[in-house]
Amino acid sequence: DARVTQTPRHKVTEMGQEVTMRCQPILGHNTVFWYRQTMMQGLELLAYFRNRAPLDDSGMPKDRFSAEMPDATLATLKIQPSEPRDSAVYFCASGLVGLEREQYFGPGTRLTVT
């Protein structure tokens, strides 16, 4: 049963702390996306990678957010320092070049910054 996994599922932290979210894409998928979902802004694309190379991170606040793919089975999203306005659900999704019609979402990380 191939699926995208994300850890942690929930994270509560204090303002100013570093937060790292991890994602394991579906084996064989070569494109990975990070989204942020809030009630006010909906689903926003933060960054995406193809074959581990960043293609677009224009949706990401560069001063505090960073996204990487150290290898094909791991994508990370870091926030340093975190702020209360970063509270949201962060989704990772993966897909296949040639099957751009659909993306497979992970269960999300619910982040609360106090």
Partner 1 sequence: GQSLEQPSEVTAVEGAIVQINCTYQTSGFYGLSWYQQHDGGAPTFLSYNALDGLEETGRFSSFLSRSDSYGYLLLQELQMKDSASYFCAVRDQAGGFKTIFGAGTRLFVKA
Identify which range of 12-20, 70-78, 80-88, 93-101 contacts partner 1 by CB under 8 A.
Answer: 93-101
* 103 lies in the site for partner 1, by CB under 8 A: yes
Report the Cα 9 to chain-centroid distance in Å. 12
Binding status of residue 90 toward partner 1 by CB under 8 A: no
**CA 103/CA 32 separation, integer angstroms:** 9
Q: Which of 33, 34, 65, 90 binds partner 1 (CB under 8 A)?
A: 33
Q: Which residues pair with 54 in a beta bridge?
A: 49
Taking alpha carbons only, the member of 21, 23, 18, 17 closest to residue 5 is 23
Interface pick for partner 1 out of 42, 62, 63, 70 (rule CB under 8 A) = 42
25: contact with partner 1 by CB under 8 A: no
| Side chain identity, residue 57 | D
Query: What CA–CA distance (Å, rounded) separates 38 from 90?
Result: 9
* Least distance (Å) between residue 35 CB and partner 1: 8
Cα 100 to Cα 110: distance, rounded to the nearest angstrom: 27
Cβ closer to partner 1: 63 or 102? 102
Site residues (CB under 8 A) for partner 1?
A: 31, 33, 42-45, 48, 50, 55-56, 91, 93, 95, 97, 100-108
